[in-house]
Amino acid sequence: MDHLTRRHFLMRSSAVAAGFAGLQSTLARGAVARMISDNPLQALDRFGAMLRDPDGILDLPKGFHYRIISPMGAEMDDGLIVPGKHDAMAAYPYINDDGSTDPDRCVLVRNHEIEDAHRTISPFGPQNERLNKVDASMLYERGYGRPSRGGCTTLVYNLKTKQLESHWLSLGATERNCAGGITPWGSWISCEETATTRGTRFEHDHGWCFEVPVTNTPKLADPIPLKGLGRFMHEAICIDPATGIVYLTEDRHDSLLYRFVPESKPTKIGDLHRPGKLQALRILDHASMDTRNWDADLVKVGDSLACAWITMDDTDAPKDDLRYRGFASGAARFARGEGMWWGGQDDGAAYFACTTGGSAAAGQIWRLIPNGTRKGIDALELFIEPNDPSVLQNADNITFSPWGDMFVCEDGEAPQFLVGVRPDGSLYQFAKNTLDGSEFAGVCFSPDGSTMFVNHQQRGWTLAITGPW
């Protein structure tokens, strides 16, 4: 392959906040350096080469094992069925009734990217025969008798016994719940990747974000859209714990990067319903910049771009035109903004994937550093852009490991890999889907760091992976 040039940042890992160890790890800023490598997928990693899985499902390095839990079609504790299309996910501490943390258990909240056509993988059954098991008032889209089938499920997993203990529907009758993100106060934000409007099929508009409380007891979240976060084809969010500002990606080939600036800092469930401003990122001195690098290599790996923000109006966007209006006003354009995770020392950074960025349309990962240029001026940096599908093919969901490496889910052509990214920007393949061409989704770590969870979307499986982390 061609020589690939990378500028990278030397970073170290640290904890984000008490109660969230294992949910997020952080990376310290460091000096920019240049690395030239004949083989960006270096063998010198902490795990070694992947070994062939005799069951033909998941190749992993020596000493690692996986367990399939909460598969599509299984009956859940609430009498509903595990829906399919497992997507983004996060793991949380298990909190006992007395407020103490149970170190042997964790709670997973998992999205399901189901849309109207996916009748056979609905939580309510193919003919909605299990609808009577839920309170209809807790379903967002009843659809004139044909409720939406997307939403979230919640799982309780025993890290010691490696067993699923319970699972249930926790957000009901939303549409195409793809990604989302964790909040500093311990809830999950689930995002609809659609911009459909009310009409003959739907009673309500779609394209919203919803907040899902993390509990140990089966219950449905109150499905009230977070309308301040705008209506568009949402993908993921992350939140700056210092300010409460919400950063949001949009899954379009001509997407924008957004942030929601609340009037007062949110600290608990429900606070994101308060007023605020939805804004789109623009590059200072370069109005309407195209960061996709499809036709021209405008942004180099390691470049740092000073940013400002454009306040958007009419954010309910009945014409699904936020990205057009923002770009015309000077906002930067991105190539399918997808997975997002917060990390970084001091004020931190929002890392996000652009699935089809780069000259090979194989993907980019960016980081946005608040006040990264100077106070009040944010910095946008291109972290990696391999431009080689054998190295990284269409980055999607991302997370940070407890030791500081990023893990990236691929969503391209078979074979699909879980790719590790070291703090210096070099990459390695950690896991391979040897069963079929399905994407990986929802990678995250248990709060104690003992278990990686990741979804096999096509089969509707959650995989719990343990080993010598």
Q: What is the pLDDT of residues 159-213, one digit of tens each?
A: 999 999 999 999 999 999 999 999 999 999 999 999 999 999 999 999 999 999 9
How do 416-421 and 427-433 pair as beta strands?
A: antiparallel
Q: What letter does residue 327 receive in the DSSP assignment?
A: H
The least confident of 260-274, 312-326, 335-349 is 335-349
pLDDT per position as a tens digit, 234-264: 999 999 999 999 999 999 999 999 999 999 9
| Cα 447 to Cα 22: distance, rounded to the nearest angstrom | 4
Element holding 379 (H helix, E strand): strand 377-384
Residue 402 has pLDDT above 60, yes or no: yes
Pick from 135, 177, 131, 130: which is nearest to 152 by CA? 177
Residue 35 has pLDDT above 70, yes or no: no
pLDDT at 328: 98
pLDDT confidence bin for 3, thresholds 50/70/90: very low
**Residue 331 to residues 170, 289, 414, Cα–Cα distance (Å):** 36, 7, 34
| Cα 161 to Cα 141: distance, rounded to the nearest angstrom | 38
Domain extent listing, the chain: 1-69+390-469
Residue 344 has pLDDT above 70, yes or no: no
User: How confident is the model over 424-443, as a mean pLDDT?
Assistant: 96
Burial of 177 (0-12, 13-18, 19+ CB in 10 A): buried
Residue 349 has pLDDT above 70, yes or no: yes
pLDDT per position as a tens digit, 258-292: 999 999 999 999 999 999 999 999 999 999 999 99
pLDDT at 8: 28
pLDDT at 345: 59
Q: How far apart are the first and last CA of the chain?
A: 31
| Cα 405 to Cα 422: distance, rounded to the nearest angstrom | 5
pLDDT at 259: 98
Q: Which amino acid is at 129?
A: E
pLDDT at 45: 63
